Structure 1
Amino acid sequence: MGVEFELDEEQRMLRRTVRETVAKVRPQPVDRQWETYRKLGWLEAPPLELVLILEELGYAADPTPFLATATWFAPLAGRLPEGSGTAVLDGTGRYVLDADRADEVALLTPDGVTVVPGAGIGAERVDVLDPHLHVAHVDAGPLTPGVPDLALAGLAATAVGACRRILDLVLAHVKQRTQFDRPLGSFQAVKHKAADMHVAIERARALTQFSALTIAEDDPRRGRAARMAKAAAGECQRLVVRHGLQSFGAMGFTWENELQLHLKRAQACDLLLGTASAHRKALLTA
């Protein structure tokens, strides 16, 4: 049985408000951006509204700890932190988002969830392909693997936003770049690539929003829906990154081009907490 879903007016207004706010505060220092988002109450948004917010933050390659605080720490600890927070989810303490700058860290241990001050764990930031992401290894003792569904949905929403931005940059580029005295966008092969990117983004977006709805309703399908969303977003970014680079050519590799920021953010979202392939395999064996 199919499910029809459409955002209501309040949700569409929220998305517009977030988009306008992010564009306005983006030139400000990271701590100012973070304080703005906290004061606006975005961290307290219900699951569906939260993924709408995260998609817009992904579109802007948000440098704040919003993603980790809202979707890693909060669902594990059962509350919002005083400042920023993250959670150690994979049982090893490796590649933990924002662990190096979190005020609080939620640890999933054999005895349950323990919340400790961020300064109380040995967090060492590591280099990852996205230099604007804070990712760290932590030394936190014996831990238990366990990933909240909202963490997977949050990464999926962020990846969808990054892919949307890549597509918008590609469309602007192929409209003004010429080849043989014609805009690149007039060639059918380029049109096909843009159409494929759009379809992949819309598919991942739909599954991400469905995942958020199942979380909000505590639907028994929420675990599978979260894995499906994360897998779809990972598959989406692979296609969008490939086509995006092909459309820009060598320009897409340069640090001077904005495209590289969003390529890296989309790829990082796929790698964190399991790639598309890992979640597809989990779905098959569940």
Structure 2
Amino acid sequence: MKLVLSQEQQELRAAVRSFLAAASPLPKVRDGYDREVYARLNGELGLSGLIVPEEYGGAGAGFAELAVALEETGAALLPGPFLATVFATIALTRVPDKELLTGIAEGRVVATLAQPPADSDVTVAANSGESGVTVRGTLAQVLGGMEADVLVVPALTGDGVVMTAVDLTAPGVTRTALETLDLTRGQAQVTLDGAPGRVIGPAAPGVGDRLAVALAAEQLGVLRAALDAIVAYAKIRVAFGRYIGSYQGVKHKLADMHCKLEQAESIVRFAAWAADESPDELPAAAALAQAYVGRACFEVARDHLLLYGGIGYTWEHDAHLFYKRAKADEVLLGPPRIHRARLADLLEL
């Protein structure tokens, strides 16, 4: 097991970081989803096809590389459906579908995944008829639901749970944009009323664990960027004739935040390695990643906002963007207590 980034992974990180700094800086993030940026992200860097197998036109990379890319998109607070498409791709690599994986790898398809975050209940049903498969059900919150072209959703049939693909632009699909805490990443309520679908295959185990690892990688990036921002501010902000970073109350808080970063990075690197190399260790590693990293990310984002003082409370400050992304990510796959309980069960505590 190697938790230090390889030379290739460091080059990937530098390329993604450089691209996002130029194409999607923080002031632009407030404008929301930019299709041009998303197209360039996939066309120039091929990030949408990073973990798509080579036989479908992707790079065939592993979770270690995906974690590197997601850390950078998280640090840049990249708006839009990139994480949603990553979630869908993770599911599709477990239940391969040539049409969708090829479209995602080429950047032609924006996909999202409907995955019950807190339990395994399936509320969507698929029925076969003379005209093909129709899908019915209501999904209260779908990440990137307004921007996505295709919805990958587990559906209940007479033979059990299967993965289905639904064209979100087809008849029988109603999408309603939701008012979300994180303004940079939208969600939608999706109602399927006899929408035409296509069965991809049986639901595969382990998808939820891999989603948890991917989300933790983004949270690590948010955490790191928030800490870097407040450290830089503490070096230039002067109060009572001294840089605020020299005050004990500030520098001790920054040291605590840095410790959380170091622990979070180790947890994410291990979880990504487990996803690639050790499936037996993945469930516990994924549960730990969400139990620890999600909370640590929010705490650092919260404290970094507070350390800005009065300026941090203004709506125009970027600290709010990190705070809201951290809180939205923390509960995206269920609150930390659910992951702590699962980790305790896995460890037989």
The answer, yes or no, to whether TM exceeds 0.5 is yes
Structure 1, gaps ≥5 residues long:
none
1:90-139 deviations in Å (ceiling 9; x for gaps) = 14523221012111110111230001112243222211111111111222
- Aligned residue for 2:235, secondary structure, equals helix
Alignment pair present for 1:43 and 2:48: yes
Q: How far apart in 2 are the matches of 1:106 and 1:26? A: 28
The aligned counterpart of 1:128 is 180
Q: How far apart in 1 are the matches of 2:344 and 2:267? A: 17
Instruction: Tell me whether 144-153 or 224-233 shows the greater mean CA deviation.
Output: 144-153
1:130-172 deviations in Å (ceiling 9; x for gaps) = 1111111222479x99853222112111111111111111112
Moved over 6 A (4+): none
Structure 2, gaps ≥5 residues long:
51-61, 117-121, 124-138, 195-202
The aligned counterpart of 1:11 is 9
1:234-261 deviations in Å (ceiling 9; x for gaps) = 1212320232122112322222111111
Instruction: Tell me whether 122-131 or 184-193 shows the greater mean CA deviation.
Output: 122-131
Identity, % of aligned positions:
32
Structure 1 contact 61–262 (Cα < 8 Å) conserved: yes
The aligned counterpart of 1:87 is 113
Q: How far apart in 2 are the matches of 1:158 and 1:75? A: 15
The aligned counterpart of 1:109 is 155
Q: How far apart in 1 are the matches of 2:287 and 2:296? A: 14
Structure 1 contact 101–118 (Cα < 8 Å) conserved: no
Greater strand share, 1 or 2? Answer: 2
Instruction: Tell me whether 166-175 or 38-47 shows the greater mean CA deviation.
Output: 38-47
Match for residue 91 of structure 2 among 76, 88, 110: 76
Match for residue 137 of structure 1 among 168, 183, 189: 189
TM-score of the superposed pair, with normalisation by structure 2:
0.75
Q: How far apart in 2 are the matches of 1:47 and 1:141? A: 36
The aligned counterpart of 2:131 is none
The aligned counterpart of 2:252 is 192
Q: Which has the larger radius of gyration?
A: 2
The aligned counterpart of 2:37 is 33
Structure 1 contact 96–136 (Cα < 8 Å) conserved: yes
Structure 2 contact 80–147 (Cα < 8 Å) conserved: no
Match for residue 142 of structure 2 among 66, 75, 96: 96
Question: How many corresponding residue pairs?
Answer: 282
1:227-285 deviations in Å (ceiling 9; x for gaps) = 21112211212320232122112322222111111111111110101122221012113
Q: Aligned-pair RMSD on alpha carbons?
A: 2.2
The aligned counterpart of 1:20 is 18
Structure 2 contact 85–111 (Cα < 8 Å) conserved: yes
Structure 1 contact 167–197 (Cα < 8 Å) conserved: yes
The aligned counterpart of 2:323 is 263
- Aligned residue for 2:5, secondary structure, equals coil
Q: How far apart in 1 are the matches of 2:180 and 2:344? A: 30
Q: 1:186 offset after TM fit, Å? A: 0.3
Q: How far apart in 2 are the matches of 1:98 and 1:23? A: 23
Alignment pair present for 1:152 and 2:212: yes
TM-score of the superposed pair, with normalisation by structure 1:
0.91
Greater helix share, 1 or 2? Answer: 1
Structure 2 contact 291–340 (Cα < 8 Å) conserved: yes
Structure 1 contact 233–276 (Cα < 8 Å) conserved: no
Read off the aligned partner of 1:264 and give its amino acid letter: K
